[in-house]
Each structure stands twice: as C-alpha cells, then as structure tokens.
Amino acid sequence: MHNSRITSPIPLSPPLRLKPNHPHKNFAVSAQLVRNNLGIQASLRVVSAQLQTTKTDYSISDADLESRGFHLRRTPDGLNLTHLNSVFVSVGFPKRDPDKIRTALDHTDSLVWVEYEKTKRPVAFARATGDGVFNAIIWDVVVDPSFQGIGLGKAVMERVVNELLGKGITNIALYSEPRVLGFYRPLGFVADPDGITGMVYSRERKKKK
C-alpha cells in the first residue's frame, strides 16, 4: 500500500480471490486480474448497484480523523506539490516534475488526501483515473512513513473506492507490489481469479527483439 511503484521487475504473488465483505446484501461480484513482470493489477467489478458504501462502513470516520488532527481533502486546492513529492520520495517513488504532477491531478477523476493539522502537510494520498463511466485505476497510494500503521492508507482507499462506486464505475483496478497485497484484500481486491491474466506494454522487451 505504502509503496505501489512499478519501476523495476518484481516476483509475482500467489492468486487471490474476492470474498464479499457483506454477503447478506443483494449484490453480485466478479473480479479480474491483470498481472505482469512489473507488478499486480487487481480489479474489482461490482455488478449490482445495490452495493453501497456509507460513512458508517469506513474503518475510521471523518470525525475520528478530525479529532486526531487529520483533515480529509478531495480537491488539489491547498495541496503543496513539493511536500507531496517528499512523501513520494520517502516511500521509494522517483521525484516527479511538479508541472507533471499538476497535469496528472488535472486529469484525475477521484482524489483523496490527508493533511496533518500541525504541519499543514499531506501525509496520505490516493487518486484514480478512468473513463468516467465503466473503468478506473487507482494510483499513487502513499502514506508518509512517519504516519504509517494508523489507518490513513485504508481511510483514503475506502473513500476513493466509495466515490468511484458512487459514480457508477464498476471496474476498479490498481497496481501493487506483492508484499502489500494483504493490505488490499480486506478492501475487496483480488488477484488471479479464474486464471485471468493481462498484459502491459513493455518497451524493454521490444528493444530486445
């Protein structure tokens, strides 16, 4: 979760399967996986519109976060890109051009980040892009190492997924290193259902041919 970069080849993990968190609700779920030598992309597809996530489903409520000095933000307003870059670097991402980060944010469909009140700096971040109708991919799920282990990563992920579902987007995917797949399982993500495998364009392999 804290480091979902795909900058170098990593070993693949064993298959995971989706188990609905609320089996008593009337909904059907199927899952797809796209995996390659750079990482794992797990996709959750919610078939029924009756599956809804509400504030009471969050592992940490907005009020609880506020009481601990963390403010949820859903727009880029007030987001210091230099500070965000620092968080990226702290978890192993390469330092990014601020102008390119700004462009990426302009093309982001869902954004949730957490600002720590004492420092006014971002300490957790996640965003999603997609076609706005059917598909979305979640990117850049990061938590400042000084604030890991207290539920901030789960908080931003739950809210991004909830927002996407609220827009009617039924195919949600993400990339993850195998060592953090366990973080995504309770959130409904699964790898390798029914042996489905996808492909990602590789410039390195093209050069070798």
* Residues annotated catalytic, as ranges: 184
Count of C-beta atoms within a 10 Å radius of residue 47: 11
What is the spatial distance between Cα 160 and Cα 174, in angstroms, rounded to a whole number? 12
| Alpha helices, H only, 24-151 | 62-67, 81-90, 98-106
Pairing of strands 110-116, 121-130: antiparallel
| Alpha helices, H only, 46-151 | 62-67, 81-90, 98-106
Could you give the angle at the alpha carbon of 63 between the alpha carbons of 57 and 112, nearest 5°? 70
Collapsing DSSP to helix, strand or coil, 190 comes out as coil
Could you give the angle at the alpha carbon of 138 between the alpha carbons of 46 and 16, nearest 5°? 60
What is the spatial distance between Cα 183 and Cα 191, in angstroms, rounded to a whole number? 13
